[in-house]
């Protein structure tokens, strides 16, 4: 087969979501608004947690980094998507494509392990509250965060090494709006069976390990909460977990649907909708979920505003 020569033909072409100019315009406005809310929401969450001393706890330490991850991986995808929607230029260089894919997998995998760290934090807070401050020390929290990034980097590096062995023959058109493993494997003319298996094992291990941690944590939490006699006590315990459970359900649902299947079965319809959801929409939803459903964050915002107001008056 005639393998593409990337010295002379260095670019892939991202086909995007639609060929209709009207729909592209609508999507560009919608995605721009979503991205602005994502940036403001996540930066706002980070600032509020940093500025309010009462939120300097392990739970909000992890939430700060969740906001950073959401902001980062939205930024890896959305600006290039907006450029493709608003201009006739749909090219992305070979190096740019693989760089985008590397950082996206890195950030997405890191978020999986960070969400499992947050579940463990809730488990200690509810099931072993007397030892919470000892177990969830700043050193241990930093170790969990570092481990999340290390596992994410390993996952992303293995993915990149596997994808770097592929040949792309005759066609350089990616039928998606960003460089992800599924549409690239579907584009390749190489025998991808072994590569798909390796990527599936690593991606599956990332999802399975983090899901086992989350499931085990919440089963223990449920068992503990059911032993609480007072209804108010049960509600209070559940309320501390509600935001995290909702975020986990949305994130893992779309990730599993999109990735834990054969990459050769990539479809332009359902897969792209799921990809838009977890790359563009979820990073906007997380700060809204954790702020609108969390009284501590609402009170912290109020305290920060009042504090800044008094500082301006003086």
Does the model's pTM come out above 0.75? yes
How far apart CA 281 and CA 17 sit, in angstroms, is: 15
Domains of the chain: 12-263+273-289 (1.20.1070.10)
Tell me the H-state helices in 164-230.
Answer: 181-187, 193-226
Judge whether 13 and 172 are in contact, CB under 8 Å. yes
Q: Give me the long-range contacts of 127-136 (CB less than 8 A, separation at least 24).
A: 127/220, 127/221, 127/224, 136/58
Residue 19's alpha-carbon distances to 16, 22, 85, 223, in angstroms, are 8, 9, 9, 52
Q: What is the mean pLDDT of the segment spanning 192-220?
A: 90
For tokens 């062995």, name the residue. 165
What pLDDT does residue 270 have? 56
Convert the pLDDT of each residue in 1-39 to its tens digit: 444 444 444 588 888 787 788 888 998 999 999 999 999
Residue 101 has pLDDT above 90, yes or no: yes
CB atoms within 10 A of CB 21: 9
Residue 14's DSSP bridge partners are: 174
CA 43, chain centre distance (Å): 15
Judge whether 81 and 177 are in contact, CB under 8 Å. yes
């Amino acid at each position: 087969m005639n393998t593409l020569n990337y010295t002379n033909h260095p670019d892939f072409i991202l086909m995007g979501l639609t060929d209709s100019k009207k729909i592209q315009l609508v999507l560009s406005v919608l995605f721009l608004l979503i991205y602005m809310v994502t940036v403001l929401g996540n930066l706002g969450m980070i600032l509020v947690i940093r500025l309010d001393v009462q939120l300097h706890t392990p739970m909000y330490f992890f939430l700060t980094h969740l906001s950073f991850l959401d902001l980062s991986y939205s930024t890896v995808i959305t600006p290039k998507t907006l450029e493709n929607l608003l201009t006739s230029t749909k090219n992305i260089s070979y190096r740019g494509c693989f760089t985008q894919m590397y950082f996206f997998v890195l950030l997405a995998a890191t978020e999986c392990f960070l969400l499992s760290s947050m579940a463990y934090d809730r488990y200690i807070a509810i099931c072993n509250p007397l030892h919470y401050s000892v177990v969830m020390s700043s050193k241990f929290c930093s170790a969990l965060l570092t481990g999340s990034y290390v596992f994410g980097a390993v996952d992303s590096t293995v993915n990149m090494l596997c994808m770097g062995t592929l040949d792309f023959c005759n066609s350089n058109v990616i039928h998606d709006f960003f460089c992800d493993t599924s549409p690239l494997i579907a584009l390749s003319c190489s025998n991808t069976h072994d590569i798909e298996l390796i990527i599936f094992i690593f991606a599956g291990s990332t999802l399975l390990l983090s899901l086992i941690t989350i499931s085990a944590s919440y089963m223990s939490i449920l068992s503990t909460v059911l032993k609480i006699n007072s209804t108010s006590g049960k509600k209070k315990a559940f309320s501390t977990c509600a935001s995290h459970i909702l975020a986990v359900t949305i994130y893992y649902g779309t990730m599993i649907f999109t990735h834990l299947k054969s990459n050769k079965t990539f479809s332009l319809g359902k897969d792209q909708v799921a990809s838009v959801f977890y790359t563009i929409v979820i990073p906007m939803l997380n700060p809204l979920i954790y702020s609108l459903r969390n009284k501590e964050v609402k009170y912290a915002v109020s305290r920060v505003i009042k504090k800044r107001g008094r500082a301006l008056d003086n």
